[in-house]
């Protein structure tokens, strides 16, 4: 297996950083609500960019690393798509003006990248020093998969986070937004706008997402560079995908179960890998369990892609999905998106 060239890693991060910076500047300098066409073109651009990067990985580092990137990117992108529904609920709950939703999402993505970068660094260090951590990662993913598959707790989205409620009591805050400002003036006093609460909510949500997604991708590759770039590409097109799909996300009724299966599959893969490299003295006398199979990268990729395709097709063909009613809080967003197409 070829090693990842240093020039390839550094060059990739520089180019991707510049693209993100340009994207951020466009959002800050021209806040607006993107049309369906604009959002679709941006999503196509970022997906194409990820595929070009995957091709470069195959060309410069070989099929093993290339396959790891594709599997990691598809997994992280799938988990990110599922998380879009939470972003939609946050925007609707706080009545964020559509004109400034791009900026809110961009800030959320930057927070997510920082948090995931920290988690990736810590995860790589821990994995390097303690092989038994794969047992913990595997068990955590299996537990997460089980929780993901449950139908309970969806009404909890309507209840405000206790931390957010406490912040509202402590920090002086205006009732209405003032453009995209964090601070405004009310009756001669400087106070924060609800935008602060939105950013905090997005940040806390990103933290929870990172806790779930980082162990999942470490089950597919142990390369910190591949883990970070897979997360980066998954997040880069997320903002535009939000406007492209909008309230239609709840039509993908089987996506949650597909992601649950994927997390469970990766959890089993991690446990098998932990057994294969076992060093715990109370398991097999501290010896490697040689009969524990290692699931190849391309088998993982086939399972992940196949599961997503089956879930999407089944959702689109399901009569239950066709008859699904949109969340009342999202109807106006969807109606506006349809008017963009017209």
- Residue 328: per-residue pLDDT: 45
Average pLDDT, the chain: 78
Rounded-to-integer distance, Cα 249 and Cα 326, Å: 9
Residue ranges making up the domain that contains 69:
6-341
Model confidence pLDDT, tens digit, residues 66-105: 899 999 898 888 877 766 767 777 777 777 887 778 778 7
CB 65 within 8 A of CB 57: yes
Rounded-to-integer distance, Cα 101 and Cα 131, Å: 42
CB 193 within 8 A of CB 94: no
139's CB contacts (< 8 A; 6+ apart) are 267, 271
* Domain-located, residue 1: no
Q: Which residue has the tokens 């190849």?
A: 296
Residue 192: pLDDT band with limits 50, 70, 90: confident
Rounded-to-integer distance, Cα 330 and Cα 339, Å: 14
* Domain-located, residue 237: yes
Residue 51: pLDDT band with limits 50, 70, 90: very high
Structure tokens at 104: 């809110």
* Domain-located, residue 291: yes
331's CB contacts (< 8 A; 6+ apart) are 247
Residue 323: pLDDT band with limits 50, 70, 90: low
* Domain-located, residue 103: yes
The region of weakest confidence among 99-113, 135-149, 302-316, 325-339 is 325-339
* Domain-located, residue 71: yes
Rounded-to-integer distance, Cα 286 and Cα 313, Å: 46
Mean pLDDT of the region 127-150:
82
* Domain-located, residue 292: yes
Angle between helices 98-129 and 238-245 (to 10 degrees): 130
Residue 55: pLDDT band with limits 50, 70, 90: very high
Model confidence pLDDT, tens digit, residues 254-313: 878 888 898 888 889 888 888 877 778 878 777 878 777 788 878 888 998 899 889 888
Residue 53: pLDDT band with limits 50, 70, 90: very high
* Domain-located, residue 318: yes
* Domain-located, residue 207: yes
Total structural domains within the chain: 1
Structure tokens at 184: 């405004």
Mean pLDDT of the region 47-58:
92
Structure tokens at 252: 């993908």
- pLDDT > 60? residue 2: no
- pLDDT > 90? residue 177: no
Residue count of the chain, please give it.
342
């Amino acid at each position: 297996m070829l090693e990842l060239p240093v020039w390839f890693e550094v060059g990739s991060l520089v180019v991707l950083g510049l693209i993100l910076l340009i994207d951020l500047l466009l959002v800050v300098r021209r806040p607006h609500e993107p049309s369906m066409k604009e959002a679709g073109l941006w999503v196509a651009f970022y997906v194409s960019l990820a595929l070009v990067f995957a091709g470069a990985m195959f060309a410069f580092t070989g099929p093993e690393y290339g396959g790891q990137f594709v599997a990691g990117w598809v997994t992280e992108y799938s988990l990110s798509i599922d998380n879009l529904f939470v972003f939609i609920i946050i925007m609707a709950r706080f009545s964020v003006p559509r004109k400034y939703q791009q900026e809110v999402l961009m800030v959320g993505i930057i927070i997510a990248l920082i948090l995931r970068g920290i988690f990736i660094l810590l995860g790589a260090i821990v994995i390097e020093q303690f092989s038994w951590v794969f047992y913990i990662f595997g068990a955590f993913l299996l537990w997460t998969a089980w929780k993901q598959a449950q139908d309970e707790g969806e009404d909890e989205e309507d209840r405000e986070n206790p931390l957010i409620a406490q912040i509202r009591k402590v920090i002086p805050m205006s009732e209405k937004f003032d453009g995209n400002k964090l601070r405004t003036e009310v009756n001669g006093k400087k106070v924060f706008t609800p935008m602060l609460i939105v950013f905090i909510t997005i940040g806390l949500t990103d933290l929870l997402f990172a806790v779930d997604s980082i162990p999942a991708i470490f089950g597919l590759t142990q390369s910190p560079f591949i883990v970070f770039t897979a997360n980066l590409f998954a997040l880069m097109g997320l903002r535009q995908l939000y406007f492209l799909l909008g309230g239609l996300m709840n039509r993908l009724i089987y996506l949650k179960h597909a992601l649950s299966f994927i997390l469970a599959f990766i959890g089993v893969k991690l446990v098998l890998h932990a057994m294969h490299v076992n060093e715990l003295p109370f398991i097999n006398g501290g010896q490697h369990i040689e009969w524990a199979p290692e699931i190849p990268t391309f088998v993982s990729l086939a399972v992940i892609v196949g599961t997503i395709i089956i879930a999407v097709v089944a959702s689109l063909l399901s009569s239950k999905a066709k008859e699904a009613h949109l969340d009342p809080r999202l109807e106006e967003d969807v109606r506006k998106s349809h008017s963009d197409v017209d």
